[in-house]
Chain A
Amino acid sequence: GDRLNGFENGKTQLLCLCVRLQVVLKIIKHYQEEGQGSEVVQGVLLGLVVEDRLEITNCFPFPQHTEDDVDFDEVQYQMEMMRSLRHVNIDHLHVGWYQSTYYGSFVSRALLDSQFSYQHAIEESVVLIYDPIKTAQGSLCLKAYRLTPKLMEICKEKDFSPEALKKACIGYEHMLEEVPIVIKNSHLINVLLLDLQEKSTVADKHELLNLSSSNHLEKSLQLLMDRVDGMSQEIVKYNTYCRNLTKQQQQKQQYLQRRQQENTQRQSRGEPPLPEEDINKMFKPPQAPPRMDTLLIAGQVNNYCQNIKAFTSQNLGKLFMAEALQGHSS
């Protein structure tokens, strides 16, 4: 997605996002303990808006949805949690939500709807996407996204037909915009970090320099292929729609022409012309396929491709390093 760059339409736009240490750690812990495989874990972000920054100071997780927990009331859980947190002076403003992702697949209808409802209520909300698999490979992968103002407009209208989207000039790249994240810690937290570093053992796993890549590549490519398949299906649907539309136009023209001819013939014979029939009722225009899904799939495919490219460039770097090392010894 695009980066924000300053002020637009006179409204202050979010320039950056400040996240505290404990939010990061809580999100990591939540996935580690409660997430399995490709299930996503979600939670709420709390914080406040300070000038042009959004500060996220705390978060709490949502329980997993289980089918046997029918009487679990999400709204009530949230309200109770916020009320309790207010007692201990924790900021209780909902500024967004977080979600874990599986290999980068998060551009979906559900995400769009949730983020839209959050952003509708509070303009500066963001969704924090945490990628546990990429993090396990050695570097913390936390990204923040918001819907672009254009997309907000479209969601408000709920009009996803091709014409509306064409008018708004939305491409798949302009759906979500990324907000840069900055980690900000207080002095006391820095003291804590110093203490932790002194008392902890040296990390014995250096995943970042791991050379094996085939597993990850396989999974990513498989997901990419699935999406591309979905995309091609959508394209086929759209093409049939276009073809049907043109065929129908042709049929309409032919009908009108025949009508004209008949009418002139009748006139020449002195008979009354045939009654005008409502042409639109006869040739009902085909239903235009909704473009939103195509846009989402395109956005998702784009995301996958970018992740894959980042991963391959990292691995190429590592391979060249290994070559240099081996070159020295041999």
Chain B
Amino acid sequence: MVKNDVKVLGAWPSPYVMRPRIALNIKSVNYEFLEETFGSKSELLLQSNPVHKKIPVLIHGDKPICESMIIVEYIDEVWTSGPSILPSDPYDRAIQRFWAAYVDEKWFAAMKGLRSAQGEERKAFLDQVTEGLALLEEAFGKCSKGKAFFGGDRIGLLDIAFGSFLGWLKVTEKLNGVKLLDEAKTPGLVKWAERFCADAAVKSVMPETEKLLEFSKVLAAKMKGAPPPKN
């Protein structure tokens, strides 16, 4: 396979960018990683994703595919000789997609809220994050059925969706002085997180927590430079 045939436009700190990279690794597909410069958008990005101008973008041949979870499903459907990322049963697929959507739309939204919130608002977001993790702990029990991952013996769609946020979860724990994944409250997820981060498909693309922590400070400084929000 020609290496240039598959490209991923992205940036190392982004959990969304990790997702297609993990998927491509699962399928043993070689790809070129084109890193965007922080603070600016390349011509290629603007051309490939004119609607949202966001990373990640998968470029397969000359076709751009956008939106991280849509890219993951595309990868699963194109490279059928590798291990499956989605289960074959429609109901199991629906469960994986449901929780992946929950992680993005509800749980990570609360995590992002936590980043900039103060006082009472901060406590409210923290509660939402913790409640979300309790739901995900329960979902893990049901989905894994005693196996290593949400996807069973191997990493699947929901593992990718949720696992890609583990780096930022650790940063949030450090910045807020809290333990979000906890042996007492979320024992299943604690062990799952270790296995996920150690997996061959994930290791090379999961950023080190220290590097992310440094980056989060750069990000915070940039956000402070923006004009204050209107109330």
- Same complex for A and B? Answer no
B interface vs A, CB < 8 Å? none
